[in-house]
Amino acid sequence: MNPMPKPAEPGKVLYTQVYDYLLDRIRRGDWKAHDKLPSVRALAGELQLHRLTVFRAYGLLKEHGIVYVKEKSGYYVSEGKPHDEPAGPEEARTAFSILPAAGAGENARAATRRGSGRLQNALSEIHRIPVLYSFSQALIDPNLLPNLFLSDHVKQVFDRYPKLLGTYSSVQGDEELRELLCADLQRKDKLQVSSDELLITTGGQQAIDLLAGVFLRPMDYVLVERPTYSSALDCFRQRGARLMPVEIRKDGYDLDLVEAYMKRHKPRMFYTNPTFHNPTGYTVPATQRKQLVELAERYGCLIVEDDTVHDVYFDEPPPPPIYSYDTEGWVVYLRSFSKYLAPGLRICAVAARSAVMAPLLTAKSLADNGTPLVNQKLFQHCFESVRLQLHLEKLRTALQIRRDVMERALAAGTGWQCYRPQGGLNLWVRLPDGLHDDRLMTESVRRGLTFVPGTICDPLGEMNGWIRLSYSFMNEARIREGVHLLVRLAEELAHSE
């Protein structure tokens, strides 16, 4: 049995974390007045804890009048507060917490499923390695961006707003920018959203971190795709969440399994990347998107839809966002805009209904008191330009060419397999049989090349036969050279065994 992570807060013992976990679930409405709670044995097994730890947590709940005991039957929820509080998204106001969870003595597998308690970002560590061939960066080559166009706009923006550097943005984001993005989402994606329901964050990563801080507490379940964006996994682990993987396939998810998880475990959140998924490139079909919203409403699970590269498609536009099917406020939509225009501006729009938006604004105010106004105004005036659409069309063509170049270079090797995405920035590549990502990564870094290992994208940490290669950051010649080097290294490793 793997021990549960010890609390990081000085003086906060383990059974009080279990107490907080049970209290929070009662407040959410998972158990109502006079409902029987799990037995000490059952809960200890579920949480992988000693029974005495759970027994002490129940004793503290009983001492505070939150539960009562029926002799030879078990523990039951008492009448009155706290279970009468609302259980919908609006409860985020009471759930706001930035409590870290720590871990000591956990083995590697357990650490992938639960919070390890220390700050870590495996992807960032890879990005910091200086190399000649960077296949780890899911960024667009600066040479593909409209740099001269952006330079011209910088002067225009400061001429129009001469006092721009002398003031802050509002916490929620510049009103003109929110109105512009709101109109764009309504026109292109048919989203029913108002400017009051948009929050501008400093990139998508900040949005994920804010949502985790608002909605997650130690031991909460979070549904995550397998594989998925590794920095999101690290963010959830740092909050002490327990990750529950849902495999993503070419045709989407096993929705029966998703429903079973929601029904049994009451996950607080489902983090999804359904459009040109990172790292696989898969796109979840429209029928499943609608069904996901129905499940979220039925079981009270917040869906966080991360839509980073929605506009980077090669043939047909992707299906409407999951958010477009939501009428009750169970979906939060993260849309990154600056990635394909000016990534350095770090502009992400978060769409959420008022009950979710209110605590997010508080969290944002505590994080940085608002995304820099200069960045927002520069992005606004570039985004509303008629030249943007022309730039996007050229960018899609250039990225599609680079995808094809990378696929052909991989095909020159033996045993390499990949799915052809219809948009996005990455290829999800299966390594030749017998080759693992850790050995290949070690040798690749020595030769000046990086990629994203499949193990860090996997909430179970087991997908060592897969890697993510980004085709967006380097030109065609560098892609050919780098992939040929990677294939050669794999062959050398195979022959050395």
> Can you say how many angstroms the Cα of residue 446 is from the centroid of all Cα atoms in its chain?
30
- Residue ranges of the chain whose pLDDT lies below 70: 1-12, 81-119, 497
Q: Which of 423, 472, 398 is nearest to 316 (CA)?
A: 423
3-state secondary structure 409-440: HHHCCCCCEECCCCECCEEEEECCCCCCHHHH
pLDDT tens digits, residue range 280-289? 999 999 999 9
The answer to whether 69 and 75 are in contact (CB under 8 A) is yes
100-103 contacts at long range (C-beta below 8 A, 24 or more positions apart): 100/8, 100/9, 100/238, 100/239, 100/240, 101/5, 101/7, 101/8, 101/17, 101/218, 101/219, 101/238, 101/239, 101/240, 102/5, 102/6, 102/7, 102/8, 103/5, 103/6
Residue 70's CB is within 10 A of a number of other CB atoms, namely: 10
| Residue 331, pLDDT score | 98
- CA–CA distance from 352 to each of 275, 284, 298, 329, 421 (Å)? 19, 21, 19, 7, 29
Interatomic CA distance for residues 410 and 433, integer angstroms:
15
Interatomic CA distance for residues 167 and 251, integer angstroms:
48
pLDDT tens digits, residue range 71-123? 889 999 998 756 444 344 444 333 322 222 333 333 334 444 554 445 688 89
| Residue 371, pLDDT score | 94
Interatomic CA distance for residues 229 and 271, integer angstroms:
10
| Residue 113, pLDDT score | 52
pLDDT tens digits, residue range 300-330? 999 999 999 999 999 999 999 999 999 999 9
pLDDT tens digits, residue range 396-414? 999 999 999 999 999 999 9
| Both tokens assigned to 447 | 């030769």
